[in-house]
Amino acid sequence: MPEHEELLSLGELQDVLYEMLKSFAAFCDGHGLRYYLYGGTLLGAVRHHGFVPWDDDVDICMPRPDYDKFKALAEPSPWEFYSVKQYAHPFIKMVDARVAMEERLFKPSLKRQNAFLDIFPVDGLPETENERNRFFRRINFYKRFLVYSIVDTKKYVEGKSLKKQITRILCKLSSLFGYKVFRGMLEKEASRYSYDNAEDVSVCVWGWGARGINRKADWERRVALPFRDSTFWCQENYDEFLRWRYGDYMQIPPPEKRSHVHGKYYRVKQR
């Protein structure tokens, strides 16, 4: 850790993320952009009225048209310390320049980032089941090789089984192409089907794929949920989504299943 940085506690990090989330929400509401709490952040809003106590990021999703408008409006950045960036992942992040982080599984050249909100696009889906199956097979193929191209093989692949050895070889081959190749393929495939013209939608680019399909009509009905001393938007059928994703989601998991996984966070001191 450089001398001009200090390690943040999880509580301090969540305070940083909360302030950034409030700025994001205010910006979206002010420009008529739709967003939804997603994944663990939605779970935290419902179960804890704030963060899941061991969570170290924020998950947001936006319909593709709103996602694209947000990217355009955020360049150049309208905030003093926040900006919108895209690292190796196939989606954007809103970041805080005052807090650095190190992704624990990434290659040394890619691990240095900033504290972030993950912002995922919601895309349309093909109509038939056969088309969807082929679509998600392509998505999963590109996603797998993107992951192989960005991870630190020594940390990501442990063990000496034949499967592990094959994975190491695939990681090395993927690195020869570079992550931008696979990221571009994944982004192109995920946005193939128009959100506006689709009946069903999903976070195709990085979510749960075929297991995360929503009827667009259900998705677009929004309700505001309390989160700390604010309220943020989410899908009206959040209970259905959370039960599908987490089962009995109001049940607190045992300690061994509570973990934040991204890395270490540091406050960058102003010199």
- What is the reported pTM? 0.93
71: Cα within 13 Å, side-chain hemisphere: 16
pLDDT of 156 > 60? The answer is yes
pLDDT (mean) for 82-111: 95
Q: Own/partner pairs for 239-246, CB < 8 Å, 24+ apart?
A: 239/46, 241/42, 241/214, 242/42, 242/43, 242/46, 244/211, 245/39, 245/43, 245/208, 245/212, 246/43
Return the minimum-mean-pLDDT range out of 23-27, 119-123, 188-192, 256-260: 256-260
Classify 74 in phi/psi space as left (phi over 0), alpha (psi -120 to 50) or beta: alpha
pLDDT (mean) for 173-183: 95
For 23-44, write each residue's pLDDT tens digit: 999 999 999 999 999 999 999 9
Q: Which residue has the tokens 């409030």?
A: 22
| pLDDT (0 to 100) of residue 212 | 84
For 43-75, write each residue's pLDDT tens digit: 999 999 999 999 999 999 999 999 999 999 999
Q: Are 150 and 206 in contact (CB under 8 A)?
A: no
Q: Which amino acid is at 46?
A: V
Band (pLDDT 50/70/90 cuts) for residue 2 is low
pLDDT of 3 > 60? The answer is no
Which contiguous run of DSSP H or E holds residue 98?
Answer: strand 92-103
- From CA 49, how far away is CA 42, in angstroms rounded? 9
| pLDDT (0 to 100) of residue 271 | 58
Band (pLDDT 50/70/90 cuts) for residue 154 is confident
| pLDDT (0 to 100) of residue 245 | 85
pLDDT (mean) for 232-258: 91
- From CA 82, how far away is CA 136, in angstroms rounded? 34
Give me the helix-helix angle, 129-150 and 179-190, nearest 10°: 160
Q: Are 9 and 189 in contact (CB under 8 A)?
A: no
pLDDT of 268 > 60? The answer is yes
Band (pLDDT 50/70/90 cuts) for residue 163 is confident
